[in-house]
Amino acid sequence: MLDDPSLVPAVVEESLRMFPAFAHFGRTATKDTELHGQTIHKGDKVVMWYPSSNRDETRYEDPDRFDVTRNPEHQAFGAGGRHFCLGTALARLELRVLIEETLARYPEMEIEGSPQFVESPFANQLKTLPVRLRPAA
Ligand code: HEM
């Protein structure tokens, strides 16, 4: 990415695929339906697990590998229905600027310590990621 900043948008998409910020949202079925042979009745509570659908091995080759060339479609912001995330454009912009500016200021930043996840079944996010910042020479 340091050599080729044009990769940043693809890095954002692959990061959203592999590490969606929210683990799940719940919904109530508004009509009877069937999904992969599973009957869902009107009124049933259903949970959509984004880290699972984003690593669907029938959809992604080698789904647990971070691949900056993949530039994938994913469900980090939902599946495109009426509740699709309203903040998609802002979130993508923030992530792109965060990566671009951090790389520009600290091109030699290194991970220093173990990442710790937030202890929550909902937030699929890091609490801490210790890094060493070295300013550009
Ligand atoms: C990386 C950042 C973000 C992620 C991963 C994310 C993810 C999601 C997901 C998974 C949903 C549910 C989609 C569905 O059920 O189809 C959602 C809904 C929503 N998001 Fe985001 N979101 C992010 C950032 C934001 C931001 C920055 C805003 C506002 C500025 C925002 C506003 C909303 C709103 C208002 C909804 C509810 C839409 C509705 O129910 O009609 N999100 N988001």
Mean residue pLDDT across the chain: 94
Q: Per-residue confidence at 135, pLDDT binned at 50, 70, 90? A: confident
CB-ligand 1 contact for 86 (6 Å cutoff): yes
Residues of the chain with pLDDT > 70: what percent?
Answer: 99
Q: 96 is in which domain, residue-wise? A: 5-108
Checking if the pLDDT of 136 tops 90, the result is: no
Residue 44 placed within a domain: yes
Residue 54 placed within a domain: yes
Residue 116 placed within a domain: no
Q: Atom 18 in ligand 1: which residue has the minimum CA distance? A: 85
Distance CA(132)–CA(66), nearest Å, equals 22
Q: Per-residue confidence at 2, pLDDT binned at 50, 70, 90? A: confident
Contacts 24+ apart (CB under 8 A), 95-104: 95/12, 95/15, 95/16, 96/8, 96/9, 96/12, 99/1, 99/8, 99/11, 99/12, 100/5, 100/8, 103/1, 103/2, 103/5, 104/136
CB-ligand 1 contact for 118 (6 Å cutoff): no
Residue 103's contacts (CB-CB under 8 Å, 6 or more residues apart) are 1, 2, 5
Q: Which two tokens stand for residue 110?
A: 């290194």
Residue 119 placed within a domain: no
Number of domains in the chain: 1
Residue 114 placed within a domain: no
Residue 134 placed within a domain: no
Checking if the pLDDT of 137 tops 80, the result is: no
Identity of the amino acid at 109: M
CB-ligand 1 contact for 68 (6 Å cutoff): no
Structure confidence by residue, pLDDT tens digits, 38-97: 999 999 999 999 999 999 999 999 999 999 999 899 999 998 888 999 999 999 999 999
Structure confidence by residue, pLDDT tens digits, 19-38: 999 999 999 999 999 998 99
Residue 85 placed within a domain: yes
Residue 48 placed within a domain: yes
Distance CA(2)–CA(100), nearest Å, equals 9
HSE, side-chain direction, 13 A CA sphere, residue 15: 15
Identity of the amino acid at 25: F
Ligand 1 mean position, distance from CA 78 (Å): 8
